[in-house]
Amino acid sequence: MDCYTANWNPLGDSAFYRKYELYSMDWDLKEDLRDCLVAAAPYGGPIALLRNPWRKEKAASVRPVLEIYSASGMPLATLMWKSGPVVSLGWSAEEELLCVQEDGVVLVYGLHGDFRRHFSMGNEVLQNRVLDARIFHTEFGSGVAILTGAHRFTLSANVSDLKLRRMPEVPGLQGAPSCWTTLCRDRVAHILLAVGPDLYLLDHAACSPVTLPGLAAGVSSFLQMAVSFTSRHLAVFTDTGYIWMGTASFKEKLCEFNCNIRAPPKQMVWCSRPRSKERAVVVAWERRLMVVGDAPESIQFVLDEDSYLVPELDGVRIFSRTTHEFLHEVPVASEEIFKIASMAPGALLLEAQKEYEKESQKADEYLREIQELGQLPQAVQQCIEAAGHEHWPDMQKSLLRAASFGKCFLDRFPPDSFVRMCQDLRILNAIRDYHIGIPLTYSQYKQLTIQVLLDRLVLRRLYPLAIQICEYLRLPEVQGVSRILAHWACYKLLEYEPRSGEQVPLLLKMKRSKLALSKAIESGDTDLVFTVLLHLKNELNRGDFFMTLRNQPMALSLYRQFCKHQELETLKDLYNQDDNHQELGSFHIRASYTTEEHVEGRVAALQKAAEAFNKAKNDFAAKATEDQMRLLRLQRCLEDELGGRFLDLSVHDTVTTLILGGQNKRAEQVARDFRIPDKRLWWLKLTALADLEDWEELEKFSKSKKSPIGYLPFVEICMKQHNKYEAKKYASRVGPEQKVKALLLVGDVAQAADVAIEHRNEAEMSLVLSHCTGATDGVTADKIQRARAQAQKK
């Protein structure tokens, strides 16, 4: 028993502080805490670490990693941070992790690393960037306060009902304040900041200077400030190594202390217990921890490792790579019982019970002593209460045994306080287990209430434990088991609900949009996918949204389709993101027809297209696009020069139009410039001249050189224009293979027959025969029949 108070440290005459280990940490941290952004939620909540937070000097390839652990260091989630640089992390009252990015976007994650939503702290923040940020708690919820690069503050007092407030300017503020904090007064969030030797309080309307009563002289700047858990008290640490502690209303000084350390502390937090008169703050430096209160001496601890302080309702949690400890003021009941040489009734009862167990008669003596003073009920009560404040079950048991022993000698001691404490401790011990990792103290537990605790267990998906607790406490079904089962069912449903049409909207409602997306994709129901996509689009910032799409090709292509009809600019961004230069090229080509009206604009769009095609290594398309640019410019010149309509004609039609307009030279020029193949050019000219019925020119053309397409087309086109006379001119020039055809076309059946017979070509002969109609051709027909018969004889 002597050693029990070994870890008690007196602060002044009236109070003891003790520090004990909650857990040896289970996590396997590769880095020092100082290299991480850290956020730990109060009420024994989870710890978030962002490893490798964005640092300029580090290679961009090292992505930050966001990890979430229980208070005992059990991993709950790990995810690669793919969004922007994070300035600050913090937990909301609902145990949601808020990650404040440099651009003022706050991303909200669940305990299991599931993305919930995001919101922005406004344009001003976006423009000036976030210099510093705090997540704070008020009675209405959790808020975010931002200090921007322009040294202005923006805050939102409740992130679930986002109302941004830009705080007034601080007159004459040149640089960042040396320290600042949020402060809740009269249900309104304020900002207290220190600039040199001055303090200012900002509310939404004004900036007012603040003087702290009884502040020592000679302060030239403030290095740290801390507001107590209940927002009632304020402590400031000055550059003179002086600590002032007083009320947050700035009306009263409680105490002061000079620690003579001028180095700025890493952290300073209040360490006080509700309903205690003692006021103390814990100040942490690199390797030193100091508890300072209304006493000339402080309590000092050495820190072996990088440590992080978490203020709690009734003390301070301190965790490092290896351990997690709790530092608090020893509660009254414990102090009464365990203080050395205590004669308090509880202390005597504990002694009595121990002696009783040893079967010593001293037990009776102690008991008698209490009873004579009539203090047995108090003794029992003290033991019960003290048990509640003990962390170690053995000690809890021995105190409860003492209480139970004492109760035997009382007639009418109401049993419920004893029973309730037994129940509470059982629950507390269960959740403190390192598997669960919620190290609540009795006071915290009572403050939090069992309902909230159950919610938190559900949040951690610890359904069986939550149900056991409900059953153990015999909570009404509505509050207890069935509510948890509903949660559980919901969770399971999400996992196992086979009908995606049901599952996906449910997931969206539960803010599990990414899971919703993959489930929707799995179902093949594109409408469902679209629905989730549009939801995600509103929920995520653009970068994250695109990133999500990138990992889901099916969703991406659907979204592209959507953009094609609804948001063309976004479509371009999507192609850009994917380096899809081929599609970008097509995009610009479309633009050159639809969005641009003037030739120069169209050419510019085509220029972009050509560049994209070059990047896509599509040489053909790049070349074709450049040709089109050339063509457009040429067509505009032609319109200016010759009048008429040239724009958007093909090269082929441009040349044709020129010929039809009598511009033969220009036509030749264009054909050469665009390297129209000879054969097609002949077809083109032939058709155009025949359309013009310029037979003279056609004949000249036919004689310009040997036709690469032969002369049958000439015959055909003349006949098409019903000019047999011209047709006959060309029929004679048709090569032997097509001669028969040509002769038949111009209606010279007899000659056709002669040629066919000469060719001794059976097919040709029957072709001619099929053209033999009426009496006039009778002779010819006979001639062929004879030739055929002769051929058969041979």
Least distance to another protein, CB of residue 594, Å: 6
Place of tokens 């220190």: 194
Strands 141-148 and 65-69 come out as unpaired
Which residues in the 649-668 window bind another protein by CB under 8 A?
A: 649-653
Of 679, 700, 703, 720, the one binding another protein (CB under 8 A) is 679
Task: Examine residue 523 and tell whether it contacts another protein (CB under 8 A).
Answer: yes
Task: Examine residue 737 and tell whether it contacts another protein (CB under 8 A).
Answer: no
Place of tokens 């200016």: 640
Q: Are 384 and 403 in contact (CB under 8 A)?
A: yes
- In the chain, how long is the greatest CA-to-CA distance? 157
Task: Examine residue 160 and tell whether it contacts another protein (CB under 8 A).
Answer: no
Of 383, 589, 715, 731, the one binding another protein (CB under 8 A) is 589
The kind and range of the H/E element at 244 are strand 242-247
Q: Which is nearer to another protein, 344 or 584 (CB)?
A: 584
Least distance to another protein, CB of residue 612, Å: 12
Task: Examine residue 68 and tell whether it contacts another protein (CB under 8 A).
Answer: no
Query: Applying CB under 8 A, which part among 74-82, 243-251, 373-381, 530-538 lies near another protein?
Result: 530-538
Of 172, 374, 415, 498, the one binding another protein (CB under 8 A) is 498
Which residues in the 549-568 window bind another protein by CB under 8 A?
A: 553-554, 557-558, 560-561, 565-566
Distance between CA 184 and CA 188 in Å, rounded?
5
- Pattern of binders to another protein over 319-358, x per CB under 8 A? ----------------------------------------
Short-list 128, 160, 157, CA closest to 145: 157
Of 31, 477, 527, 782, the one binding another protein (CB under 8 A) is 527
Q: Which is nearer to another protein, 433 or 522 (CB)?
A: 522
Distance between CA 518 and CA 221 in Å, rounded?
54
- Copy the structure tokens of residue 671: 């054909």
Least distance to another protein, CB of residue 118, Å: 21
Place of tokens 């969004």: 83
Q: Are 487 and 459 in contact (CB under 8 A)?
A: no
Q: Which is nearer to another protein, 15 or 681 (CB)?
A: 681
Q: Are 384 and 399 in contact (CB under 8 A)?
A: yes
Least distance to another protein, CB of residue 631, Å: 7
- For 87-119, the DSSP string reads EEEEE-TTSPEEEEETTSEEEEE-TTS-EEEEE
Least distance to another protein, CB of residue 68, Å: 33
Query: Would you tell me the crossing angle of helices 619-642 and 664-673 to the nearest 10 degrees?
Result: 160
- Copy the structure tokens of residue 462: 């610890």
Q: Kindly report the three-state secondary structure assignment for every residue of 630-665.
A: HHHHHHHHHHHHHCCCCCCCCHHHHHHHHHHCCCHH
Task: Examine residue 524 and tell whether it contacts another protein (CB under 8 A).
Answer: yes
Of 494, 676, 692, 750, the one binding another protein (CB under 8 A) is 676
Least distance to another protein, CB of residue 227, Å: 45
Q: Are 73 and 26 in contact (CB under 8 A)?
A: yes
Q: Which is nearer to another protein, 153 or 546 (CB)?
A: 546
Strands 65-69 and 47-51 come out as antiparallel
Q: Are 405 and 356 in contact (CB under 8 A)?
A: yes
Q: Which is nearer to another protein, 518 or 586 (CB)?
A: 586
The count of chain residues that interact with another protein, using the rule CB under 8 A, is 50
Task: Examine residue 633 and tell whether it contacts another protein (CB under 8 A).
Answer: no
Amino acid 760 reads R
Task: Examine residue 516 and tell whether it contacts another protein (CB under 8 A).
Answer: no
Task: Examine residue 578 and tell whether it contacts another protein (CB under 8 A).
Answer: no
Task: Examine residue 593 and tell whether it contacts another protein (CB under 8 A).
Answer: yes
Task: Examine residue 146 and tell whether it contacts another protein (CB under 8 A).
Answer: no
Short-list 330, 338, 345, 340, CA closest to 389: 330
Q: Which residues bind another protein (CB under 8 A)?
A: 498-500, 522-528, 530-531, 534, 553-554, 557-558, 560-561, 565-566, 582, 586, 589-590, 593-594, 620-621, 624-625, 627-628, 631, 648-653, 674, 676-677, 679-680, 682-684, 687, 709
